Amino acid sequence: MMRISQLFILSSKGDHLIYKDYRGEAGSDVVNVFYEKVTALTGDQPPVVMSHRDLHFVHVRQGGLYWVATTTEDSSPFAIIEFLNRLSALVRDYCGSLSEKAVQMNFALIYELLDEVLDYGYIQTTSSDVLKNFIQTEAVSSRPFSLFDLSNVGLFGAETQQSKVAPSSAATRPIQSSRDQGGKSEIFVDVIERMSVVIGSNGVLLKADIEGEIRVKCYMPSCSEVRMGLNEELSVGRSQLRGYGAAVRLHECSFHQAVQLHEFHSHRILRLCPSQGEQTVMQYQLSDDLPSAPPFRLFPTIERDSAGRLLMYMKLRCDLPPKSAAVSVSASIPVPRGSVSLSQELSSPDQNAELILQNRAVVWRIPRFSGGTQLSALFKVEVPGLSSASLLEVGPVGLSFELPKLTATGLQVRFLRLSPVQPGPAQRWVRYLTHSDSYIIRV
């Protein structure tokens, strides 16, 4: 039987934010023991499970905080880690955001949550539908007043084009405020994909995995059924032959247990009654395959100039469709040990590059990169005593980026219907995002 003896939340600096003892088996001094242990670890020691006498600490990091449970050795690590993650998601749902400040301001609410979620160290429920009947405390929103919120109100209150786009902060509010404060009834469907790609030095795609999920964040007071249609031409599994058209292929997919799949096999329609707050409705994977060309290619030239400096000429091409663009692109180029300074020539003023000595890398940032275009940059790195062997230290380039309004698999939500039709105006938002889990181009 899995039981949690104590549960506590610490800030990254070790401040005690929340402490709850469920079984009275150990004193509260273990909080300090934990913090001393976790900060004393060396780089390669795995921190997730640590023990102190008979106590075993399991912790996760979420929102910059330590979420720690003490338990017995025979507990399932999967269950405890999943539970701690779920707990942090609940706190995020109830407080609107996850940060040290949010936890501090809402400690009464969190104690209330902890009281209902666990009893005597045994998990009772983590469903926000059940919990909403028990949680009485109002969330205190830690979001400061922002001019950005005003910018969404059109001139003289008129509907503008802008209001068709949900502000990015729209989904970071407490779920319970919708009940009393007359908050809008809204539903957000996010299709989020993570790419991990390795491209060889000869440009060959060595590895390409996409892990995706559909997340629903629901702010609707009354539970109503949602029907969500995905691409009709969607094939699941490896065995199926590739059709002609632009069918979307997934190798594996799994669904939240509340999702009804009667219409999935025939019409690719998911039906579910979402609970308040955020939940992952579907998870899917596509491995060793990309439906289209990889979004970025790099053509590097690396040499040593006559003055003994390291010259890196980088040509980066974005192979997205012309109408799309990547944002927050950043390329990290490892440079030899002993690099001292950097001078660069970039093709536009909004880009920048710097040498980060701590990471031994040149980081080249491109705020926006349109599809079908190409950027180039010349980096000159001063490395005292550069030898030709040191050129080999210019290691694989890591790219991080976000591709808004785009899914790498091509998965789309065709429609999103609520039934019964909501009494008030219910807003439905569908957002797509692909980001890089790990995008590595060898040079």
The answer to whether residues 156 and 163 touch, using CB atoms and an 8 Å cutoff, is no
H or E element, residue 70? strand 65-71
Question: Closest separation between CB of residue 206 and another protein, Å?
Answer: 7
Can you say how many angstroms the Cα of residue 322 is from the centroid of all Cα atoms in its chain? 26
Strand, coil or helix: 355: strand
- Cβ 362 to another protein, closest distance in Å? 12
First CA to last CA across the chain, in angstroms?
51
Total interface residues for another protein by CB under 8 A: 91
Comparing CB distances to another protein, the nearer of 215 and 417 is 215
Amino acid at 325: A
Cα-based angle 287, 364, 344 (whole degrees, multiple of 5) = 145
Between strands 397-404 and 118-119, the pairing is unpaired
At 130 the three-state DSSP class reads: helix
Rounded CA separation 364/344 (Å): 10
Q: Is the peptide bond before 174 cis (omega within 30 degrees of 0)?
A: no
Taking the C-alpha atoms of residue 89 and residue 106, their distance in angstroms, rounded to an integer, is 14
Mark 19-48 with x for binding to another protein (rule: CB under 8 A) and - for no binding: x-x-xx-----------------xxxxxxx
Task: Give the one residue of 26, 33, 171, 198 binding another protein; rule: CB under 8 A.
Answer: 198
Please choose, from the candidates 364, 358, 362, the residue with its C-alpha nearest in 3D space to the C-alpha of residue 309: 362
Binding of another protein by 124 (CB under 8 A): yes
Asked if residue 150 lies in contact with residue 162, where contact means CB atoms within 8 angstroms, the answer is no
Between residue 93 and residue 112, which ones bind another protein under the rule CB under 8 A?
107-108, 111-112
Identify residues 337-366 at the interface with another protein (CB under 8 A): 337, 359-361
Amino acid at 147: L
Least distance in angstroms from the C-beta of 102 to another protein: 15
- Residue 302 CA to residue 313 CA, distance in Å, equals 6
Give pairs for 239-244: CB < 8 Å, separation 24+: none
Write the DSSP symbol of residue 359.
T
The binding track of 199-238 with respect to another protein, each residue x by CB under 8 A or -, is -x-----xx-x-x---------------------------
Token pair listed for 204: 């060959």
- Angle in degrees, 0-180, between the axes of helices 77-95 and 107-117, rounded to the nearest 10: 140
The answer to whether residue 288 forms part of the interface with another protein (CB under 8 A) is yes
Least distance (Å) between residue 76 CB and another protein: 5
Binding of another protein by 279 (CB under 8 A):
no
Residue 45 or 222: the one with the smaller Cβ distance to another protein is 45
Near another protein in 143-172, by CB under 8 A: none
- Which one, 225 or 252, has the nearer CB to another protein? 252
| Sheet with 65-71, side-by-side order of all strands | 16-21, 4-10, 65-71, 55-62, 49-52
Q: Least Å distance between CB 129 and another protein?
A: 11
- Backbone φ and ψ for 81, nearest 5 degrees, come out as -65, -45
Which residues, 290 to 329, sit near another protein by CB under 8 A?
none
Task: Mark the segment that binds another protein (CB under 8 A) among 10-18, 166-174, 314-322, 414-422.
Answer: 10-18
Exactly one of 34, 66, 83, 94 binds another protein (CB under 8 A); that residue is 83
- Asked if residue 179 binds another protein (CB under 8 A), the reply is no
Residues 362-401 vs another protein: string with x where CB under 8 A?
-------------------------x-xx-xx-xx-x-x-
CB of 159 to another protein, least distance (A): 37
Closest contact distance (angstroms) between CB of 56 and another protein is 5
- Between 283 and 351, whose beta carbon lies closer to another protein? 283
> Least CB distance from residue 304 to another protein, whole Å?
15
Establish if 59 lies at the interface with another protein (CB under 8 A). Answer: yes
Q: How far is the CB of 131 from another protein (least distance, A)?
A: 11
Choice between 29 and 350, CB closer to another protein: 29
DSSP 8-state secondary structure symbol assigned to residue 442: -
